[in-house]
């Protein structure tokens, strides 16, 4: 049987590392879910057992993130990318326009899909600075009549993260939180809709979470294709069609794990400590250069460069050999990216810092 000691440190941006305890429990229950005599993989989504799983998952999410009772939690499919379309299809009325804050490749994609549905205004963009930061409040050109404002809370590719929630007045705020949902406390009440593809910080690929304020559901046009209509999913408790049962089961285990860690404030502390260690090493001598400006640094995706692409290739290759996998950055930024989500162990940060010191010593 494989043991956890055979696991390498996985810095992948997504699908990404899951807590070992979660994988072990899933492994233990894979052939026969306790008391049922069959695998969760083989079980009806209409069964009592699965109902307990999805209800328990939602209850834990509500408790962890203090989700107010006038918000629905939806378990959907199609990834965050389908939300790029579903958000404007449901929330952008004919003749209206939406504000998009462009902070990286994912916000660009979100805006591109929204333009297929209706009018889009760019409220701010940091593209001219190669997305090294997110905008400040006074840089946002917000339209008070916008149907909604769309932001990306953590920019997975560039390694930047909002350190504050923008004030958008009474306009509904929509946030793509695919790479930092549940990495720390969430101010749900100041959002109208929060969504995330789960495969970075919450679960394996296959499930997408949408937390939506109930009044937003009134906007969904009846003419929408059924599966693209938030109201249909809300009215059917996410069981209009077969949901991704296994991904939801794992997510349920991840939520239990998060509770055991002490909740979102506690995991936030750990995430900050992990990221701070890595940024401290990046800042130590100037040998490594962080991509993100200091006041926009992500706790989840740490991006940095070396002095040449050759050295970067060497770094990635030797790191992989040393059991530090997935550090090659996205092609649009270059360099390195260490994705260090909730499930990533602190010992892996220490191992990377040691490796960085040693690499600098040998190649400085
Ligand atoms: C990964 C990612 C996406 C795309 O997610 P899919 O589930 O693959 O569609 C969108 N937004 C952000 C911020 C991401 O990190």
The pair of structure tokens assigned to 240 is: 């209009």
pLDDT tens-digit map of 248-306: 999 999 999 999 999 999 999 999 999 999 999 999 999 999 999 999 999 999 999 99
Confidence of residue 105 (pLDDT cuts 50, 70, 90): very high
Binding site membership of 166 for ligand 1 (Cβ less than 6 Å): no
The DSSP secondary-structure symbol of 14 reads: S
Please identify every residue annotated as catalytic: 106, 176, 200
Buried (b) or exposed (e) across 197-212, using 16+ Cβ within 10 A?
bbbbbbbbbbbbbbbb
pLDDT tens-digit map of 189-234: 999 999 999 999 999 999 999 999 999 999 999 999 999 999 999 9
Quote the percentage of the chain above a pLDDT of 90: 98
Measuring from atom 12 of ligand 1, which residue has the nearest CA? Answer: 178
The pair of structure tokens assigned to 15 is: 């699908």
Options 3.40.630.30, 3.30.1360.70, 3.30.565.10, 3.90.1150.10; CATH for 263-363 is: 3.90.1150.10
Note every long-range contact of 276-283, with CB atoms under 8 Å and residues 24 or more positions apart, other chains counting.
277/346, 277/349, 277/350, 277/353, 278/302, 278/338, 278/340, 278/349, 278/352, 278/353, 281/353, 281/356, 281/357
CA dist 263 and 257 (Å) reads 9
Measuring from atom 8 of ligand 1, which residue has the nearest CA? Answer: 79
Binding site membership of 151 for ligand 1 (Cβ less than 6 Å): no
CA angle 71, 106, 230 (to 5 degrees): 30
CB atoms within 10 A of CB 295: 11
Q: Concatenate the DSSP letters of all residues of 235-298 into one string.
A: HTTT-SS---HHHHHHHHHHHHHHHHTT-HHHHHHHHHHHHHHHHHHHHHHSSSEESS-GGGB-
Q: Scan for tokens 């997110």, then name that residue.
A: 134
Annotated domain spans of the chain: 24-261, 263-363
Binding site membership of 290 for ligand 1 (Cβ less than 6 Å): no
- Residue 3 is predicted with a pLDDT of 53
Give the architecture-level CATH label for domain 24-261.
Answer: 3-Layer(aba) Sandwich (3.40)
Instruction: Identify the bridge partners of residue 120 per DSSP, sorted by sequence position.
Output: 98
Which ligand 1 atom lies nearest to the CA of residue 155? Answer: 13
pLDDT tens-digit map of 6-50: 899 999 999 999 999 999 999 999 999 999 999 999 999 999 999
Confirm if 180 and 154 have CB atoms less than 8 A apart.
yes
Binding site membership of 206 for ligand 1 (Cβ less than 6 Å): no
pTM, full prediction: 0.97
CB atoms within 10 A of CB 175: 27
Confidence of residue 1 (pLDDT cuts 50, 70, 90): very low
Which ligand 1 atom lies nearest to the CA of residue 197? Answer: 7
Confirm if 90 and 224 have CB atoms less than 8 A apart.
yes
């Amino acid at each position: 049987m494989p043991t956890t000691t055979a696991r390498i440190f996985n810095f992948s941006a997504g699908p990404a590392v899951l807590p070992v305890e979660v994988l072990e429990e899933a492994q233990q229950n894979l052939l026969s879910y306790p008391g049922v005599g069959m695998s969760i993989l083989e079980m009806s989504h209409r069964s009592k057992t699965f109902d307990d799983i999805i209800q328990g998952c939602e209850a834990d999410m509500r408790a962890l993130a203090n989700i107010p009772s006038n918000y629905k939690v939806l378990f959907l499919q199609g990834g965050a990318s389908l939300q790029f379309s579903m958000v404007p299809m449901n929330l952008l009325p004919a003749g209206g326009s939406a504000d998009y804050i462009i902070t990286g490749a994912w916000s660009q994609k979100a805006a591109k899909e929204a333009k297929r549905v209706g009018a889009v205004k760019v409220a701010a963009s940091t593209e001219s600075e190669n997305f090294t930061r997110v905008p400040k409040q006074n840089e946002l050109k917000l339209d008070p009549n916008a149907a909604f404002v769309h932001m990306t809370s953590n920019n997975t590719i560039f390694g930047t993260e909002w350190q504050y929630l923008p004030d958008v007045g009474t306009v509904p705020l929509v946030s793509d939180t695919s790479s930092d949902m549940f990495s720390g406390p969430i101010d749900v009440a100041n959002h109208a809709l929060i969504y995330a593809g789960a495969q970075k910080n919450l679960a394996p690929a296959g499930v997408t979470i949408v937390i939506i304020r109930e009044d937003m559901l009134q906007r969904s046009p009846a003419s929408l294709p059924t599966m693209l209509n938030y109201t249909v999913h809300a009215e059917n408790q996410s069981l209009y069609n077969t949901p991704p049962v296994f991904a939801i089961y794992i997510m349920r285990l991840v939520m239990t794990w998060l509770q055991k860690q002490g909740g979102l404030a506690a995991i936030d502390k750990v995430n900050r400590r992990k990221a701070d260690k890595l940024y401290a090493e990046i800042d130590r001598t100037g040998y490594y250069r962080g991509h993100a400006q200091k006041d926009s640094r992500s706790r989840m995706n740490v991006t940095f460069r070396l002095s040449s692409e050759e050295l970067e290739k060497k770094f990635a290759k030797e790191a992989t050999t040393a059991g530090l996998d997935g550090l090659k950055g996205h092609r649009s930024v270059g360099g390195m990216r260490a994705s260090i989500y909730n499930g990533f162990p602190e010992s892996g940060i220490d191992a990377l810092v040691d490796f960085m010191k040693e690499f600098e010593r040998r190649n400085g």
